[in-house]
């Protein structure tokens, strides 16, 4: 019914632990973030090459930490460990049930940290290959290496063209920085949306389970209610029959009346108890309707978040296309700049030859 939002982000390891956060006021005391042990999972986003630790408690995400190569998981006791997240400006602590669970989590943290480091290096290498630095030597330096006069002595249309291309390159660089900033802001917004979506999905799963259990209980309650109603009618018939019999003369009238009175009291007590059970069943039915209403609201919020996320992905895709076209323009500009540099070098050599010829003529 709903699209799978986390097809690209998969859990790679999960453990149960009590979650704590450092007190922002004292920076010493631990504050419990969960009332009981919750699931703490490592997630990997293949599209953005990002590793995260996520944990959901109740209806909110209590851990949403992106792992970087600079992070370190420290075991402070046999069953407790912690790490600092500078982006979230906090320190997370985890208390495990056994020392083995702590060791497994620590080993997984080291593996993910190393994988994050390799992914960052690979991303930097890829970025450098796609966007080579503009380390084009200035004409003055070229002329000094080849013992030619400075470029400042040449005034002509080539010099103006070179300056124009340099201005274009500066403009392309600033445009690229602006696009990178927009992509970064979009990624942060997407992370927040994913965290909220993850929380809603967990809450929705709990509501569905509770609703399923409540529906099963309603069927059982209806069955019990029908049985109680049948038994109530049967008891009423017995009471009516006993009342009718009490009006007839019997061999021992006093004993019969006492027995009938006692039977009537017992039947009235039983009927009262059945009425209370029926009342409780009706009140539980109202709780089920409230659960259904909360589930519908959660589903609506989930659909709204998925719509916002789709719009954000379209925006990121558009920005990536703009960046690709900008990179193509930059490559063309670099080629043009290189051609201008080659032309200038040729003219510099020609100028050197001309000066040498003039010097020879003057010496003669």
Band (pLDDT 50/70/90 cuts) for residue 91 is very high
Q: According to the 3-state scheme, what is the secondary structure of the chain?
A: CCCCCCCCEEEEEEEEEEEEEECCCCCCCEEECCCCCEEEEEEEECCCCEEEEEEEECCEEEEEEECCCCCCCEECCCCEEEEEECCCCEEEEEECCCHHHHHHHHHHHHHHHHHHHHHHHHHHHHHHHHCCCCCCCCHHHHHHHCCCCCHHHCCCHHHHHHHHHHHHHHHHHHHHHHHHHHHHHHHHHHHHHHHHHHHHHHHHHHHHHHHHHHHHHHHHHHHHHHHHHHHHHHHHHHHHHHHHHHCCCCCCHHHHHHHHHHHHHHHHHHHHHHHHHHHHHHHHHHHHHHHHHHHHHHHHHHHHHHHHHHHHHHHHHHHHHHHHHHHHHHHHHHHHHHHHHHHHHHHHHHHHHHHHHHHHHHHC
What was the pLDDT predicted at 240?
A: 79
Per-residue pLDDT tens digits for 207-264: 777 777 777 877 887 888 788 778 878 887 877 777 777 665 444 556 666 777 777 7
What was the pLDDT predicted at 295?
A: 80
What was the pLDDT predicted at 218?
A: 77
pLDDT higher than threshold 80 for residue 87: yes
Average pLDDT score over residue span 168-179: 69
**Global confidence as pTM:** 0.38
Per-residue pLDDT tens digits for 207-218: 777 777 777 877
What was the pLDDT predicted at 100?
A: 95
pLDDT higher than threshold 80 for residue 1: no
Out of 128-142, 226-240, 255-269, 306-320, least confident range:
128-142
């Amino acid at each position: 019914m709903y699209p799978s939002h986390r097809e690209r982000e998969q859990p790679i390891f999960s453990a149960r632990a009590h979650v704590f956060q450092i007190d922002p006021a004292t920076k010493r005391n631990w504050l419990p973030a969960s009332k009981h042990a919750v699931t703490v999972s490592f997630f990997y986003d293949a599209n953005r090459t990002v590793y995260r630790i996520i944990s959901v408690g109740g209806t909110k995400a209590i851990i949403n930490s992106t792992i970087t190569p600079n992070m370190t998981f420290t075991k402070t006791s046999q069953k407790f460990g912690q790490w600092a997240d500078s982006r979230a400006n906090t320190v997370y602590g985890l208390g495990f049930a056994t020392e083995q669970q702590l060791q497994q989590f620590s080993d997984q943290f080291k593996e993910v940290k190393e994988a994050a480091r390799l992914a960052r290096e690979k991303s930097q290498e890829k970025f450098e290959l796609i966007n080579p630095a503009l380390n084009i030597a200035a004409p003055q330096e070229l002329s000094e290496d080849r013992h030619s006069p400075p470029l400042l002595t040449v005034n002509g249309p080539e010099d103006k063209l070179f300056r124009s291309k340099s201005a274009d390159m500066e403009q392309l660089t600033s445009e690229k920085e602006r696009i990178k900033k927009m992509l970064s802001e979009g990624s942060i917004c997407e992370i927040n949306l994913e965290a909220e979506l993850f929380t809603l999905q967990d809450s929705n799963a709990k509501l569905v389970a509770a609703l399923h259990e409540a529906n099963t209980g309603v069927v059982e309650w209806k069955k019990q209610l029908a049985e109680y109603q049948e038994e109530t009618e049967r008891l009423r018939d017995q009471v009516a029959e006993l009342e009718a019999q009490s009006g007839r003369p019997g061999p021992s009238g006093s004993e019969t009346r006492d027995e009938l009175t006692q039977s009537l009291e017992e039947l009235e007590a039983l009927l009262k108890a059945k009425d209370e059970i029926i009342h409780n069943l009706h009140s539980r039915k109202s709780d089920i309707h409230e659960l259904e209403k909360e589930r519908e609201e959660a589903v609506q919020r989930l659909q709204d978040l998925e719509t916002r996320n789709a719009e954000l992905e379209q925006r990121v895709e558009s920005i990536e296309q703009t960046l690709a076209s900008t990179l193509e323009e930059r490559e063309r500009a670099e080629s043009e700049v290189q051609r201008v540099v080659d032309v200038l070098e040729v003219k510099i050599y020609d100028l050197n030859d001309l000066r040498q010829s003039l010097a020879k003529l003057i010496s003669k």
